[in-house]
Amino acid sequence: MDAETMKLLAAGISMGLGAIGPGIGIGILGMGAMNALGRNPEARGPIMTNMILAIAMAEAVAIYALVIAVVLIFVA
């Protein structure tokens, strides 16, 4: 395999594996938010705000993998 093929393969693998963890994490966050909302529908404001904050933190890890993949394709 030459270097070009390996770079593309590496980009695909890095993004694919890097999205497993954050995907599961965001799902768990959503479940927690739904449970909390079901128990206490009046606290919708704070629950939604904190859920969005936590989801963006979990998504940042997937974004690190995306940056590696983009650098592999376009720069290296």
CB 53 within 8 A of CB 60: no
Q: How far is CA 27 from the centre of its chain?
A: 10
Residue 52 is encoded by which pair of tokens?
């969005």
Instruction: Closer to another protein by CB, 1 or 64: give it.
Output: 64
CB of 14 or CB of 38, closer to another protein: 14
In this chain, which of 6, 17, 31, 70 binds another protein, going by CB under 8 A? 70
* Type of residue found at 38: G
**Is residue 46 helix, strand or coil?**
helix
Q: Does 17 bind another protein (CB under 8 A)?
A: no
Interface residues with another protein (CB under 8 A)?
Answer: 52-53, 56-57, 59-60, 63-64, 66-67, 70-71, 74-75
